[in-house]
Amino acid sequence: MKNILIIGATGQIGSELTMKLRKEYTQGDVVAGYIKGAEPKGELLESGPSEEVDITNTFQIVQAVEKYNIDTIYNLAALLSAVAETKPQLAWHIGVGGLYNVLEIAREKKCAVFTPSSIGSFGPSTPHLNTPQDTVQRPTTMYGVTKVTGELLSDYYAKRFGVDTRSVRFPGIISYVAPPGGGTTDYAVDIYYSAVKGEKFYCPIKAGTFMDMMYMPDALRASIEIMEADPSKLVHRNSFNISAMSFDPEMIYSIIKKFVPEFEMEYKVDPLRQAIADSWPDSLDDSCAREEWGWKAKYDLDFMTKDMLAHLKVKLANEIETPAI
């Protein structure tokens, strides 16, 4: 039986991962951990237990782990890349201090831990095309520094204390349920909202800037499959390159235009986000994930675009009909 705690359960990935875990692990408790001001609502609140769990508060983590006899922790708490550059101290406090809290508790209580890393764990000196699994990791952002530290710390806890830590390096995640919060890849989500709202999109990233991206259903499946993988087959642990698609703003714009011909985009480059994007790989080689635990992405840009537009049309229409009070 699995009893799972998700820290950051109301964020972009957490809100969907919690629901999927509740559907897949019906025998145990899947606890939505949230911070004050980001309480779960609706289906997320009603479909299972939730607890206030601030990753910087060891007491709250221990309490939840003990109360529900937790054996697996999904640690999704982080400040994304662009916002982390504006608050580097807080990004470290959450990304590294928070992870340390989780790992210490996992060591004592014998929990498995999933903590995502990112394409942001690479930097300008990393090979940018088909970036290998094992390569130079010298990021120039605080987000990247926390992710590389997290990878190393998680591997250390696995080797030194036998904590079952596992992880994937997420590309930009594209989804329609909850918005991402302050990442460099967010433009590839925002562009769909503008297209559906009938607004012109001002793109903060230059044409020709390629980054790896992934549709949420693939990201959720990766998060579960890596934790279910046969440990004897894992040569790597923290963290696996995974990839699904790589595109630049021109490519996503032209594919959206196939479905929304009147859609317009203009470039209004954000120097901070552009500098971050330039330091990251264009595309990752995910062959180790394929070999060691059978990873394979299902969704491409074409499918994702159709699906995003269809879901956002319904979501935004509903929001107009039932405005938030």
Binding-site ranges for ligand SER (CB under 6 A): 80-81, 118-120, 143, 170, 172, 183-185
143 assigned to active site: yes
Q: Closest CB to ligand SER belongs to which residue?
A: 183
Q: Could you give the C-alpha distances from 218 to 50, 70, 153, 157, in angstroms and in order? A: 25, 25, 26, 27
- The conformation of residue 284, written as its DSSP 8-state character, comes to B
Residue with Cβ nearer ligand SER (80 or 308): 80
Q: How far is the CB of 204 from ligand SER (least distance, A)?
A: 11
Of the pair 164, 212, the CB lying nearest ligand SER is at 212
Distances (CA, A) of 268 to 21, 69, 190, 277, 292: 39, 50, 14, 15, 42
Strand 211-215 vs strand 245-247: parallel, antiparallel, or unpaired?
Answer: antiparallel
Residue/partner pairs of 294-300 with CB below 8 Å, 24 or more apart: 294/225, 294/229, 295/222, 295/225, 295/226, 295/240, 295/242, 297/214, 297/218, 297/242, 297/243, 297/244, 297/245, 298/217, 298/218, 298/221, 299/214, 299/215, 299/217, 299/218, 299/244, 299/245, 300/244, 300/245
Quick one: 119 or 153, whose CB is closer to ligand SER?
A: 119
CB of 230 to ligand SER, least distance (A): 27
Residue nearer to ligand SER on the CB measure, 38 or 45: 38
Identified catalytic residue from 34, 74, 143, 253: 143
The least distance separating ligand SER from the CB of residue 201, rounded to whole angstroms, comes to 17
HEC string of 194-247? Answer: HHHHCCCEEECCCCCCCEEEEEHHHHHHHHHHHHHCCHHHCCCCCCEECCCEEE
Cβ contact 51:38 at 8 Å: no
CB of 14 to ligand SER, least distance (A): 14
Nearer to ligand SER, 120 or 139 (CB): 120
SS3 81: helix
Q: What is the dihedral of CA 133, 114, 55, 243, to 10 degrees?
A: 40
> Given the complex with ligand SER, which of 76 and 105 has the nearer CB atom?
76
> CB 194 → ligand SER: shortest distance, Å?
18
Shortest Cβ distance from residue 212 to ligand SER (Å)? 9
Residues with catalytic function: 143
